[in-house]
Structure 1
């Protein structure tokens, strides 16, 4: 008789979770661009704390004060007994920050995206970028709408699917703002034009771009100077806000509807007071210290140029998310180990998380990385890549100029 417990993880997972340091579920103590791994100090390049606020004393103090006043947990859902004045303050602050009528704070960013599910009803059609985060994929699958994925950032493919859809059906285009693996931006101007032309709502997950992109840190819409292009935002506090939690922001009527229908919000314990207070403190810093954004993009440009000069393929990234394309899972796993031996902890993405034969190592850069950290990262990839024959034995004499959009992002973040 079949046993429901007989399932096993894939051979790839079994290999990379074996003995010794591993890229998955590895215990690390990280702060300010460094980490301790089994007592050894390494450069931490696998943390999405882009602005370096998770360890900021002001953020930590706000969390500590909230615990002293409210305790460690609300021990209830937002719907029943789990809403504090802090939650309402954060919602109001985020709505104003994003230029929206209202916002709903959830316990995680994943739950914020799952909270979209009630919007996707029978007869509706949802068009989703094929590189969207898993939480968006799950939210759409959990709904009753007709799911129509389009190739990553392929606007012609999306236009074809929109044109073929029932013109009378309610429609939504759902996309990440800044994609979490490749580090590239959604094509918001074209998405907004298609949404307008085909009368679809545009939903953007700003998990990686809210706080990071735009002169004021308001994300991809501000970056493209299209403040009214996005109908509904989702986001998380686990990246630029140095905390944990999620948010949905948009029209007041939509947010009110989701407050009473989104199962991931209704049936989850509310965001703890410390996390709420930390997010509020981080928002203050995001607004008042734009130099953090300038710094992380300057470091990003240096890493992009350095890796390309060495001969690595980093795709179309211009952000602090830097994919280093390696190839097969086994080779990528060896490269991850070699880079770690050089003192740099990174993330590894292999099949099935990425297509077969397209495994990569992802770097996540932080404003708290020093110039010495960046030199260490580049030296580590140079040494490891040459040992494995992935790059030439010697670097070329001239460094390639970074793509124009890199300069544009740095300039925009400095304004």
Structure 2
């Protein structure tokens, strides 16, 4: 009789390698301070809730009103009966927000990358991807029959060399994160766009961690660099700074229409609950009505990064609210994360294979919700535990 022995063996190997991570269960919603199951309070510095939108009263009111009007679910995929007026409104407002002809909403950022890449890339095309792009991009590319080229992280000389080699393909697509999720650095988008235009390539930017963070009113990296009309596919998230869940692509109308008819993750998934769509519409309004939230986010992030660097921590290439502290081997990084939580700071350990084996880290994410007192507390805890581990 078959059993789970091979699965159990893989699990044992993970534990022996120091890469096993149990789930942490939280008793309350995403906030600056949260309660771990068992009653311990901890300062949350691993959440993607950059602007505190998960608890914003306007978003909650919109979700409640939409639930009363439409119910808790849409009842279908988008192409049957699952496109409600609230979904259509969200897409028009996302397109206007991003400055594109159209936008299409998916169930998550992950499924957005799978659906878009799977639609636009065929066997006669080549996709050229930064080596540190998100796993959803990597998996999305794997599902296509396109040829693949990887360029060293933000290495524009190597990108140009690859583009020169790929002139015979029907279509060239350069893919990059806008903000890289593990290091918190920003893609050199102007240089990428210039090279793409020189070699007749399309530009595809995943702005998961730039949405609500970079650009005027959080419009993303394309707006941040003033590249409107020169980026062909802008991928965004409706989780993270927007505070709900889902993903979208902002692009040309023709591309949207093709994806409606061809993107498998779109075609075979039930549409977002109406409450989520309404929350996202409200979030777009708040982004434009309350710019002080984004200003506070950046003030907190820049000040906290300087504080950590002054203490002697290695914060890598961070230039956004994502601030890693490089620790080293996986077991040491996870042990550091565990000690921080014991002292009241939640900072998730990130280890191989997400990052290189010797680049294990804790990843801090500073938000607009954090007060100066919160950040002083975090810095003090990090300093004390950092001394224990010989990091400062």
TM score, norm. by length of structure 2: 0.95
Deviations 1:248-292 (A, max 9, x none): 111000110001100000000111111111101111001111111
Q: 1:254 to 1:10 in 2, by over 3 A?
A: farther
Question: What is the match of residue 98 of structure 1?
Answer: 98
Q: Separation in 1 of the partners of 2:101 and 2:298?
A: 30
Q: Does 1:169 align with 2:167?
A: no
Q: Separation in 2 of the partners of 1:68 and 1:11?
A: 49
Question: What is the match of residue 402 of structure 1?
Answer: none
In structure 2, stretches of 5+ residues that fail to align are: none
Question: What is the match of residue 217 of structure 1?
Answer: 218
- Return 42-51 or 109-118, whichever deviates more: 109-118
The aligned length equals 387
Q: Where do residues 292-371 of structure 1 align in structure 2 (5 Å cutoff)?
A: 292-371=293-372
Question: What is the match of residue 68 of structure 1?
Answer: 68
CA root-mean-square deviation: 1.7
Note if contact 1:107-1:246 (Cα within 8 Å) is conserved in structure 2: yes
Q: 1:215 to 1:202 in 2, by over 3 A?
A: same
Q: Separation in 2 of the partners of 1:286 and 1:344?
A: 28
Q: 1:41 to 1:154 in 2, by over 3 A?
A: same
Deviations 1:126-156 (A, max 9, x none): 0011111111111111011001111111111
Q: Where do residues 220-299 of structure 1 align in structure 2 (5 Å cutoff)?
A: 220-299=221-300
Q: Does 1:25 align with 2:23?
A: yes
Q: Separation in 2 of the partners of 1:233 and 1:13?
A: 39
Using the TM superposition, give the Cα deviation of residue 339 of structure 1 relative to its aligned residue in structure 2, in angstroms.
1.0
Question: What is the match of residue 181 of structure 2?
Answer: 180
Q: 1:109 to 1:14 in 2, by over 3 A?
A: farther
TM score, norm. by length of structure 1: 0.90
Note if contact 2:314-2:325 (Cα within 8 Å) is conserved in structure 1: yes
Q: Separation in 1 of the partners of 2:15 and 2:259?
A: 37
Q: Separation in 2 of the partners of 1:11 and 1:363?
A: 28
Using the TM superposition, give the Cα deviation of residue 24 of structure 1 relative to its aligned residue in structure 2, in angstroms.
4.7
Q: 1:154 to 1:242 in 2, by over 3 A?
A: same
Give the helix-richer structure, 1 or 2: 2
Note if contact 2:100-2:229 (Cα within 8 Å) is conserved in structure 1: no
Q: 1:48 to 1:233 in 2, by over 3 A?
A: same
Using the TM superposition, give the Cα deviation of residue 3 of structure 1 relative to its aligned residue in structure 2, in angstroms.
7.4
Q: Separation in 2 of the partners of 1:299 and 1:9?
A: 39
Note if contact 2:294-2:368 (Cα within 8 Å) is conserved in structure 1: yes
Q: Separation in 1 of the partners of 2:390 and 2:33?
A: 28
Q: Does 1:11 align with 2:13?
A: yes
Q: Separation in 1 of the partners of 2:237 and 2:74?
A: 20
Using the TM superposition, give the Cα deviation of residue 168 of structure 1 relative to its aligned residue in structure 2, in angstroms.
4.6
Question: What is the match of residue 126 of structure 1?
Answer: 127
Q: Separation in 1 of the partners of 2:376 and 2:218?
A: 27
Moved over 3 A (4+): 1-5, 9-18
Q: Separation in 1 of the partners of 2:93 and 2:103?
A: 9
Note if contact 2:175-2:204 (Cα within 8 Å) is conserved in structure 1: yes
Note if contact 1:32-1:369 (Cα within 8 Å) is conserved in structure 2: no
Note if contact 1:30-1:44 (Cα within 8 Å) is conserved in structure 2: no
Q: Separation in 1 of the partners of 2:92 and 2:370?
A: 32
